[in-house]
Amino acid sequence: MSSPQPTRRTLLLAGLGLVGSGALAACSRTTAPLGGAISPVPSASPTPGQRVVTAALTPKPTTLDLAGTSVQTWAYGDAAPGQLIRATAGDFLRVTVDNQLPVDTSVHWHGVRVRNAADGVPGVIQDPIKPGTQYVYEFTAPDPGTYFFHPHSGVQLDRGLYAPLIIDDPQEPGAYDAEWVVVLDDWIDGTGTTPDEVLKKLLADGGSMGGMSGNGGMDHGSMGHGTTGSGMTGGASTPSSGGMMMGPSPWGDGGDVTYPHYLVNGRVPGDPETFSAKPGQRVRIRVINAASDTLFSVALGGHRLTVTHSDGHPVRPTDAGALWIGMGERYDVVVTLGDGAFPLVAQPYGKTGRAMAIVRTGAGATPAADAKPSELDGDVLVGSALRPADAVRLPDRAPDATLDLTLNGQMQPYAWGINGAPFGENTPLTATVGRRLRIRVANQTMMTHPLHLHGPAFALADTGLRKDTVLLAPMETREIDLDPDAGDWAVHCHNLYHAEAGMMILLRATR
């Protein structure tokens, strides 16, 4: 086994741990086969001279401590997030998953441009990993960036089954003194219910799965506020222009689930992670939103953030006091640190509570668990307003084909789908390798949806920004361009409960 060599920078990974051998997991509606036998994953081998990074991932039941509260959950090993896997662009990854869960599982390499057979969608491109069995994922990680991995089976992501994956850029100059990985999450497992029970309650409270509204059709009042598994809170519904938002945002309702805890690197504000550095140091912070139902606004008290990457892809550096990050999105920011102790806060949109860590560079009182940076009340950057670095733009080319994709659904009945039907009943989109595809995505609901495409990253048609997950506000329409790779690729909302209720479709690309 060979593992990545340390860079010349100090890596402060906040207890996540580097993995050359490390620990992973996933079952349900999003695994429904579309017919025909599923071929086994073809073998893959590294090319001569290619560095091989190996990891051993063990999804298993475990007990976690949340500031004195013990919760029974599933995790990769005995921690959430699981151990970080780190490699360099061009490395060959060989990851063995030893499933010690009582149910089937899988692993999806979120945002990584893997070969289709390694994408980790059971029922579509692989059989699920049965309890007590092992499965080996093998792929080359071609592109540098901030990624993470998680199950693509049922609502397992809303347990502790997620971990960061960092692919370093050998050409990156490293113009910073330290690096921190910050993983955000919303937490309900083991607090008197489980994600499977939450989904069951949503479906039961929302009524039958019959019917699919094209324009929202929500009856929020009857859902109730503050009810575990179905809490809804409102927000402004009028988008603002520009890319910065003041005060209320256009994101509609704040999600479907009321969570008792929000976490930074697996810890609650009452027992926060502390990042230590020196005044004046420049720190790169890789922020990953692994939450299942929560959009966050993120700020570091007393500091400005310079956003450098979106979903792993470099952007023109853009300053902001705070930024929005949807489920499945990742942003890299660089910060020049002041002197003292500062709250790093992720405020859940439309919900009560917060995720928080502490940044300490010197003397000063530790910020209180309910500290709220003033930056959260000012301009908040919308990531889709960023502009790409020239080096990562798609080559200029007119689309060869244009397809429509509509996001449909409502809370009552709790039914979500794409192109008018839930996954398994909707018709796959079709594309041809070598032909530029434009997808016109229309959110026809009154909720925000983080749309995630597996496979090659797309570009926003209006700006060229490269993404694999993009937030779509209520009733918003966007066009995205991509050059498809061969295979069946999942396209779905990264609100886990929406995806599991049917908001997914396949993009089938053939040669």
Query: Where among 142, 173, 204 does a domain terminate?
Result: 173
Over range 373-387, report the average pLDDT. Answer: 95
Give a yes or no: residue 395 inside a domain: yes
Let me know if 231 is exposed, middle or buried by CB neighbors in 10 A (0-12, 13-18, 19+). buried
Of 88, 228, 57, the residue nearest 158 (C-alpha): 228
Q: Among 46-55, 104-113, 237-246, which stretch is predicted with the lowest mean pLDDT?
A: 237-246
Of 407, 405, 387, the residue nearest 473 (C-alpha): 407
Write out the E strands in 278-325: 282-289, 296-300, 305-310, 313-320, 322-325
CA angle 442-443-446, nearest 5°?
Answer: 155
Write out the E strands in 155-258: 163-168, 178-187, 244-246
The single residue listed with the structure tokens 């949503």 is 202
Tally of domains in the chain: 2
Give a yes or no: residue 229 inside a domain: no
Are 378 and 263 in contact by the 8 Å Cβ rule? The answer is no
Q: Could you tell me which residue, 230 or 89, shows the higher pLDDT?
A: 89
Give a yes or no: residue 183 inside a domain: no
Are 352 and 293 in contact by the 8 Å Cβ rule? The answer is no
pLDDT tens sequence across 73-123: 999 999 999 999 999 999 999 999 999 999 999 999 999 999 999 999 999
| Contacts with 32 (C-beta within 8 Å, 6 or more apart), sequence order | 123, 423, 424
Q: Kind and range of the H or E element at 93?
A: strand 92-98
Give a yes or no: residue 206 inside a domain: no
- Residue 165 sits in which domain range? 10-173
Rounded Cα–Cα distance for residues 472 and 493 (Å): 10
Let me know if 40 is exposed, middle or buried by CB neighbors in 10 A (0-12, 13-18, 19+). exposed
* Residue 223 pLDDT exceeds 60: no
Query: Where among 122, 148, 173 does a domain terminate?
Result: 173
pLDDT tens sequence across 168-210: 999 887 889 999 999 999 999 999 999 999 999 999 986 433 4
Query: Where among 173, 200, 232 does a domain terminate?
Result: 173
Rounded Cα–Cα distance for residues 140 and 113 (Å): 9
pLDDT of residue 252: 84
pLDDT of residue 415: 94
pLDDT of residue 175: 85
Are 342 and 367 in contact by the 8 Å Cβ rule? The answer is yes
The single residue listed with the structure tokens 């994600």 is 195
pLDDT tens sequence across 393-444: 999 999 999 999 999 999 989 999 999 999 999 999 999 999 999 999 999 9
| 3-class SS of residue 510 | strand
Over range 448-461, report the average pLDDT. Answer: 97
pLDDT of residue 227: 31
Give a yes or no: residue 85 inside a domain: yes
Give a yes or no: residue 156 inside a domain: yes
| Cα-Cα end-to-end distance for the chain | 35
Assign residue 88 the CATH number of its domain: 2.60.40.420
Give a yes or no: residue 471 inside a domain: yes
* Residue 237 pLDDT exceeds 50: no
* Residue 11 pLDDT exceeds 80: no
Q: Kind and range of the H or E element at 386?
A: none
Give a yes or no: residue 294 inside a domain: no
| Radius of gyration (C-alpha) of the chain in whole angstroms | 21
**Whole-number mean pLDDT of the chain?**
86
Give the percent of the chain with pLDDT over 90. 80
